[in-house]
Structure formats: C-alpha cells, structure tokens
Structure 1
Amino acid sequence: MLANLYAAFGLVFDPYVLAVILGSSIFGLFMGAIPGLSATMAVALLVPVTFFMPPVPAVAAMVSATAMAIFSGDIPGCLLRIPGTPSSAAYTDEAYAMTMKGKGEIALGASLVFSVIGGLFGTLVLILAAPALAELALKFSSFEYFWLVLMGLTCAIFIASENPLKGFVSLFIGMFIASIGMGNPSGVPRFTFDNTDLLGGVSLVPLMVGMFAMSEVLRFAVSRDQKMEIPGGAVGNVFKGMWDLMWKYPKSVLRGSVLGTLVGALPGAGADIAAWMSYAMSKKCSKEPEKFGTGHPEGIVESGAANNSALAGAWIPALVFGIPGDSITAIVIGVLYMKNLNPGPMIFVENPVSMYAIFIVFILANLLMLPLGYWCIKVSKRILKVPRNILMPLILLFCIVGSYATNNSVSDVGIMLVFGLLAYLMEENGFPVAPAVLGVVLGGMLEEHFVTSMIKADGEVLAFFSRPIAGTLGVCTILLWVLPLVVSRLRRKQLAQV
C-alpha cells in the first residue's frame, strides 16, 4: 500500500500534472463565474483536450475544473443575484441579500471556506467508505427515489419563506414547466402547442438564466430610479469572521457535509439537489428561521459545504460500480473507459496507483481552491464598480450568449426571455422563484419514479412502504407534512386557553 501511495504522489506532483491542475482550476473558475455556463459544460469542453493526456492528468483536469466551477458559481449569485451554476441557485437570494446589506465579503468567504471544508469531507468519505456507500445507493429503487424526490419538493415549501401558499403555487408552476415535452413515461407530447423545439422539454440552463438574470435586467429597466452602483461597496477580507462562523454553526457544517455526500452518492442526484435540500434543512433546524432570506449566513454555510461534498460523493458509485452520480461523472466515466480505467469493484485492485492519485488530486484541488478562489473574488469585486446602466446590457448579452450556447438553439434564447418575464412578474407579486426552479429540477423525476413504482406494485399503494428504506423515507416525508400542522394547532389551542 505504501509503495502504491508513494508512486501516486510521484504521478500527481509531476510538473506537467500540476500545470494541468492549475490551468484546469482557472478554467473552471471562469466557467462557473459566467452565468449560463456550468461545471458540466466545463467538463464537457475538457473532454477533447484529455484525448492527448495520460490517465492521471486527464482525470485531474476534470476534478479540478469541477470543484472550482461549483464554487465560483456563487460569485455572480452573491454580487449580481445571478447563479453561475444550478447548485448556487438554492442560496443566491440569501447571498445577494447579504451583499445588499454590505456583507458581501462574509457571504463570499462562507461560500469559499465551507466549500473547501465540504469538499475535503466528501473526499475523506470517498477514500474511506466508497464501497459501502455505493452499495447503499444501489439499494435505492424507484420507490425510494419517489420518496426522496417528494421530500425534496417538500423542502421547497420550507425555502418558500413566510407565505407557504405562494410557495405552493410557485412549486406547481415549476412542476408544470417540467411536464412540457415528451420526457414523460408514456412519451406523449404535452403542452408543446405543435412547436417541435419544445418536444425535448424546456432546457434548464436557459430557464435558470432567464429566471435569475433576465428578471434582474427587466427589474432595472422598469425601476430606473434605483442606485446605479451595486450596493455593498468593495469586497474586503473574505476570510475575516470565518472562524466565528465555524464555531457558531458547527452542526450546520457537519450536517451539510454529510447530507451532500449522501445525496451525491445517489445516482442522478448531484450537487444542485444536495444544495437545495441542505438549505431547506438548515432553515428547518435553525434557531433563527425567521432570518432566512434576509441575509443570514447559516444557510450559505450549510449549502456551500453540501454542494462541494456532493461532488466527491458522486464519484463513489461512478468509480465502484460505473453508475454516474450526476451529469459530470456521466462524462467522466466515458473518459475513464477511454483511459483503460474501467470503473467497477476491480478498479482498486487493477489500478491502485491511479486510484490513490485521483484521491490526492481531490485533496489538492480543494486546498488549491482557497488561494485561487480568493484571487477570483478579488478580481470579481471590480464588477461592483461598474455602473448598472453599463453592467445590465453586458449581463443581457451574457444571458443571450449563454442561453444560445447550451444547445446552439435560437429557441433557447426565446425560452430565456419568456421565463425572465415570468420570474419578474412572480417576484413583483410576492411569489418566490426558488420553489419554481426546484419544481422544474425534480418534477420530471417525481412522475417517472411514481409511474415506474405503480407499474411494479400493480397499483398497490402500500407497496411504497413495503421496503425498509422506502418506508422510512415515506414516514419522514409524511411527518414533514403533518408536524407543522400539529404544532400550529397546538399553539392555537394554547393561545385560546390563555
């Protein structure tokens, strides 16, 4: 083992590999920080480059770019209320509210520091417990996934702030959007209005760019009397106060890291779902839930740890069983096969040096995130000095280019514009956008797993509780629905007695 570990260190700390890690990290930071681009796109663009690389630097490039892109997606979310990646969308409003209060450096610092902590935790779990967690993930059938998705949708109501009814409406708008196209179990076109561009459904990236970025452009165009400078001033020392946050929210850091790793290890889940669930969990378990949405760092601490720990978690089923944990590892698996690192239980026996090298790269990429992330934040602070009447047209340009680049389709630009207008109208009338986005992400999965489970069970509803894990998740989900109602009723009785 020591000989393999020594050989792995030699592979990773080769000047060529280190140069690849550095270059891929800077590329990932750029891709994540540009709204409309994503970590998945960064990895996809790196695939042709890896054709000419040996196995270790090829995988190192993907690991480094992914880790950096997931973090840097928080930067435009914090400064401009435009999430750079889907996993940043869960706490974009929270981070932007902190910037509006002049606490942008705390939000960015929390995103950076706790992303590193979460990433290192996920890597530790990947190293120590990959086979066990992958085996647990394989026990999930459509019944377990149905309850997991339903729990995630329930979390959207917790995210939805003080008005649950408007949260429900927003959630169902998102689920309706998810039902558009042929991506349903029966393969029947729905709500396409004979438009062939909608047969494949609504693309998530143009939708998110529209709902978060285009809506801001519209808001500025309508309210020209607002300040021309982005409030909050220059970003100061992002590491100041991080130790205090660590001591104040240790449970949040641990909870986000654990939940992110577990959700990441579930095939098809990914960092974005982990971030949404962690933010909702943070609000539910917080001693100050009323502060969420007003610029409170607790949710950012937990979600930031979750989305980066989910990255390492997604590699568990990918390496051990060849099952992608998310869209990124789906691409990585193809590269692993191309480099003769065939995923499966025997990969640790046949290629132990390469596996140790990948683990070392994970640790190195997360540690490298601290200096490079700090540099990226300091460069990004220049955005604060740009007048909004110059900045907004540039953002509109990025919206159009980012939406078009997703599928090289003009119709995606139209989707971006339509959903930008929809998000603007929703927010102007007090309807939160976050549940709608979560409804789009999880709506299709809910229908697919429900129909599959009903076919398996021959229409027997109790089958959803027949398996141990499914039954536990089902009971927990129902308790999430019932407990708030019971607590509310008990409080009313106590008030009536007083």
Structure 2
Amino acid sequence: MLDHIIAALGMISDPYVIVVVLLSSIYGLFIGAVPGLSATMAVALLVPVTFFMPAVPAIAAMVSATAMAIFSGDLPGCLLRIPGTPASAAYTDEAHAMAMKGEAGRALGAGLVVSCIGGLFGTLVLIFFAPVLAEFALDFSTYEYFWLVLLGLTCAIFIASESPLKGFVSLLIGLFATTVGMNNPGGYPRFTFDNPDLLGGLSLIPIMVGMFAVSEVLRYAVTSAHGFQKIDATVGHIFKGLYGVIIKYPMSVVRGSVLGVVVGALPGAGADIAAYISYGISKKFSRTPEKFGTGYVEGIVEASSANNSSLGGAWIPALVFGIPGDSITAIVIGVLYMKNLNPGPTIFIENAVPLYAIFLIFIFANLLMVPLGYGAIRLARTVLKVPRNILMPLILLFCLVGSYSINNSLFDVGVTLAFGVIAYLMEENGFPLAPTILGIILGGMLESNLVSSLIKADGHLLAFFERPIAGTLGVITLAIWIVPTILRFVRARRSA
C-alpha cells in the first residue's frame, strides 16, 4: 500500500492536476450556491470536458466539484433561506434563523469545518473499509430498504418543530406528489389528467426551488409594504467560538459522519437523505430539542457532517461493485468505464495507483474546502448589502432559469411557480416544508420496496421481520412510533 500511495502522490503533484482541482473547486462553489443547480448537475456538466482529460484529472474534477457544491449550497440557505442544493434543505430554516439573529458567520463557519471533518471521515472509511461496507450494503434487500425509508420518513415528523400533526400532513403532501405519473411498480399513469407532461412525474429540483425560493420571493412581495425583516448586515467572525462548538457537540459530529457514510453506501440513497435523517436524529437525541428551529447550531453540525461524509460512502458500492450509491456516482461510473478504470473488486489490483490517487484527491479537496469556503463566505456577505427590491427579482430569474434547465421544459417552470404558491400558503398556516421535501425524495422508494417485499413475501407481514437487519430496523422504527405514546400515557396517569 505504501508504494502505491507514493506513486499516487507523484500523480496528483502534477501541476495540471492541481490546476484542474482548483478550477473545479471554484466551479463547484458557484454551481452549489445557485438555487436549482445541484451537485449532480455540476458533475453532469463536467462530463463533456473530461473527454479530453486523462483518467486521474477527470475524476479529480468531479470529486472536487461535488465536495464544494455540497457545502456551498449552505450559503444561500443561510443568508436567503433558499437552499442551493437538496442536501442543504434539511437545515436551511435553522441556519437562516441563526442569520436573522446576526449569527450567520457562526452558522456558516460551523458548517464549513464540520463539512471538512465529515468529508475526511468518509474518505478514510472509503480507503480502509470499502470492501467490507460494500458487502454489508449489498446484504440490503427490499425489506431493509423499506424499513430504512420508513425510518427516514419518521424523522420527517421530528423535523416538524411545533405540531407533529401538521408535520404529518406536510409529509402526506410530499408523498402524494410522488404518486403522479408512471413511476410506480405497475407502470400505471396516476393523476396525469391526460397531460403527457405529467407521465414522467414531478421532478424534485423544480419542486424544491419553488417551495424554498419562489415562496420566499412571494413572502417578500407580500410583506415589503409592511416592512421587510432584514438580516444583520455583518456575517461576523466565521471561526469565532468554533472550537467551543466542536468541543460541545463531538457526538453530533461523530454520529453525523458515521450515519452519512452508512446512508451513502446504500445504493440509491444520497447526501440529501443523509442530511434529513441526521437532522431528525440530532433533534431526537438532543438535550434541548425545543431549541431546534429557533437558530440552534447543533442540528447544523450533525447534518452538515452527514451530507459530506455520505459522498465518500457513495463511492464504496460504486468502486467495489459498480453500483452507484447516488446520482453523482451513477455519472462517475460511466466516466470510470470510459477511462478504463472499470469498477469491481479487481480495481484494487489492476488500477491500484490511480485508485489511491483518487483517494488522495478526496483528502486534498476536503482540506481545500476550508480556505476556498472561507473566501466564498466572505464574498457572500455582499449579498446582504444588495437592496431586496433588486435581489428578489434576480433570485426569481435564477430560479426559473434553473428549473427550465433541468429538462429544458416550460412545464417544470410551471411546477416551480405552483409549488412556490403552495409552500407560501403552507408556511403562512404553520405547516413545515421539510417533511414535504423528504416525502418527495423517499416516496418512490417506499412504494417500490413495499410492493416488491409484499410480492416476495406473498402477503405475509412477518417476512418484514425475519431477516436480522430488517427486523432490527423494523423494531427501531416501531419503537420510535410507540414508545413516546406509551410514555405520554404513563405520565398522564401519574399526574392524574
């Protein structure tokens, strides 16, 4: 291994590779900070460029752009309450609440450092435990995925800060949105109303942009006449008090990093699912859960470490078995084949040096995130100084262009505007948005795994508990549902 690492260091010390990493990092920071342009899109747009690159620089460009885009999605989320990427949506309200209290620097600084820590943790796990974790992930059948998704949806209820009932209704709205179209186990068109644009279902990115960005523009348009609440014009010291935050919440960093790797290693999951589940678990195990949603850094610390560590986890099944862990690695696998770095168990033997070069680039990109992220945060302060009557129309323009660019479809623009209105009405009546987004992300997985499991079990529900991992996840999920109700009943009896 040492010989391979030394040879890999020679490959990445090439000035060409270093320039590619720097330029890709800056590109990823920009794409992630623009609402509607996700990390997946950043990687997809790099594919034509990689045709003209050797293998290591091509993969280096994708690794660097992905890591930076996941972090920079926090910038508009914190400053404008508009997440740049789906991975940032889980804690957008929390970060923006801190910004409204003049703690934008603390929120972004904490997110930056724990993103680096989570990314490095995911990389180390990828290097030393890739085959073992990939084998564990392949043991997951439809039963395990069903319970895992159900556990994630349960976390959506915990995300609802005030009323669990309203959180449940919000979740149902998201689940209903996933039933539109033919993306179901039976391939039957549902709720399409003979509209061909609805046959493919409703895309996540236009919905997310509408619910977080367009709704914010609408809120400004309605409230500007009555005085718009401004954010403190200073971001402040980014790293001030950060050491105390890390010391105070070490378990949050560890728990988020571990959870991110595990979720990332599951084929079909990704950084956005890891962030939502991690934020929900953080609130569940927090000593002060009532502070969540009011501008509390604990949830940001755990979710930020999770969504970045999941990037390394997603590469585990991609490299070892050629199975994408998320949409980003699905694109990367194609580039690996194109560069003759064929994924599979033999990649550690036949292409050991390029593989270790990729691992080292993971480490380099995450370390580079701190200085470049610091510069991006300082530049982002200028957003606070732009008059809102100029900024909001520009945001709306970016949102509509981003929604159109997903499928080059005006229909997606209409979806963005429609869900913007829906989100505005929901928030005006106290319904949280996060459960809706999580329902849209996980709804399709829930239905397909439930139907597949029932077919395999021939309708016998006990089959959902017969496999060890599935049974464990099932018991945990049901316990989360039942135990709080029992405890509430016992407290009521004692008080009576």
TM over 0.5: yes
Q: SS where residue 342 of structure 2 aligns?
A: coil
- Does residue 1:392 correspond to 2:392, yes or no? yes
Q: Which residue of 1 aligns with 2:453?
A: 453
Kept in 2: contact 1:220–1:226 (CA 8 A): no
Q: Which residue of 1 aligns with 2:421?
A: 421
- Does residue 1:273 correspond to 2:273, yes or no? yes
Q: After the TM superposition, which residues 133-148 of structure 1 pair with which residues of structure 2 at under 5 Å, given as runs?
A: 133-148=133-148
CA distance in 1 between counterparts of 2:59 and 2:275 reads: 24
Q: Which residue of 2 aligns with 1:91?
A: 91
Q: Which residue of 2 aligns with 1:4?
A: 4
Q: SS where residue 140 of structure 1 aligns?
A: coil
CA distance in 2 between counterparts of 1:298 and 1:4 reads: 39
The Cα RMSD (Å) is 0.8
Deviations 1:307-339 (A, max 9, x none): 000000000000000000000000000000000
- Superposition deviation, residue 2 in structure 1: 2.4
Q: After the TM superposition, which residues 399-478 of structure 1 pair with which residues of structure 2 at under 5 Å, given as runs?
A: 399-478=399-478
Q: Which residue of 2 aligns with 1:256?
A: 256
Q: Which residue of 2 aligns with 1:294?
A: 294
Kept in 1: contact 2:36–2:209 (CA 8 A): yes
Kept in 2: contact 1:230–1:385 (CA 8 A): no
Q: Which residue of 2 aligns with 1:201?
A: 201
Task: Give the TM-score of the pair, scaled to structure 1.
Answer: 0.99
Q: Which residue of 2 aligns with 1:80?
A: 80
Deviations 1:153-198 (A, max 9, x none): 0000000112011011000010000111000000011111111111
Q: Which residue of 2 aligns with 1:345?
A: 345
Kept in 2: contact 1:348–1:355 (CA 8 A): yes
Q: After the TM superposition, which residues 91-130 of structure 1 pair with which residues of structure 2 at under 5 Å, given as runs?
A: 91-130=91-130
Segments of 4+ moved more than 2 angstroms:
225-230
Unaligned runs of 5+ in 1: none
- Superposition deviation, residue 228 in structure 1: 5.3
Letter in 2 for 1:287: R
Q: After the TM superposition, which residues 229-378 of structure 1 pair with which residues of structure 2 at under 5 Å, given as runs?
A: 230-378=230-378
CA distance in 2 between counterparts of 1:162 and 1:214 reads: 24
Kept in 1: contact 2:279–2:300 (CA 8 A): yes
- Superposition deviation, residue 226 in structure 1: 5.1
Kept in 1: contact 2:142–2:450 (CA 8 A): yes
- Superposition deviation, residue 229 in structure 1: 7.2
Kept in 1: contact 2:184–2:444 (CA 8 A): yes
Unaligned runs of 5+ in 2: none
CA distance in 2 between counterparts of 1:290 and 1:301 reads: 17
Letter in 1 for 2:272: D
The farther-off stretch of 231-240 and 326-335 is: 231-240
Letter in 1 for 2:105: E
CA distance in 2 between counterparts of 1:396 and 1:187 reads: 35
CA distance in 2 between counterparts of 1:491 and 1:97 reads: 33
Kept in 2: contact 1:229–1:385 (CA 8 A): no
Q: Which residue of 1 aligns with 2:57?
A: 57
CA distance in 1 between counterparts of 2:494 and 2:64 reads: 55
- Superposition deviation, residue 489 in structure 1: 1.1
Letter in 1 for 2:43: V
Deviations 1:247-276 (A, max 9, x none): 100000000000001000000101000000
Q: Which residue of 1 aligns with 2:163?
A: 163
Q: SS where residue 183 of structure 1 aligns?
A: coil
Kept in 2: contact 1:229–1:388 (CA 8 A): no
- Superposition deviation, residue 399 in structure 1: 1.0
Q: Which residue of 1 aligns with 2:16?
A: 16
Deviations 1:424-462 (A, max 9, x none): 000000111110111111111100000000111111111
CA distance in 2 between counterparts of 1:207 and 1:227 reads: 28
Q: Which residue of 1 aligns with 2:152?
A: 152
Letter in 1 for 2:414: G
CA distance in 2 between counterparts of 1:149 and 1:493 reads: 34
Q: Which residue of 1 aligns with 2:173?
A: 173
Q: SS where residue 92 of structure 1 aligns?
A: helix
CA distance in 2 between counterparts of 1:248 and 1:2 reads: 37
Kept in 1: contact 2:220–2:228 (CA 8 A): no
CA distance in 2 between counterparts of 1:67 and 1:56 reads: 16
Letter in 2 for 1:34: V
Task: Give the TM-score of the pair, scaled to structure 2.
Answer: 0.99
Kept in 2: contact 1:229–1:386 (CA 8 A): no
- Superposition deviation, residue 486 in structure 1: 1.1
Kept in 2: contact 1:267–1:326 (CA 8 A): yes
Letter in 2 for 1:438: L
Q: SS where residue 124 of structure 2 aligns?
A: helix
CA distance in 1 between counterparts of 2:455 and 2:401 reads: 43
Q: SS where residue 293 of structure 2 aligns?
A: coil
Q: Which residue of 2 aligns with 1:219?
A: 219
The farther-off stretch of 12-21 and 486-495 is: 486-495
Letter in 2 for 1:356: Y
CA distance in 2 between counterparts of 1:427 and 1:228 reads: 17
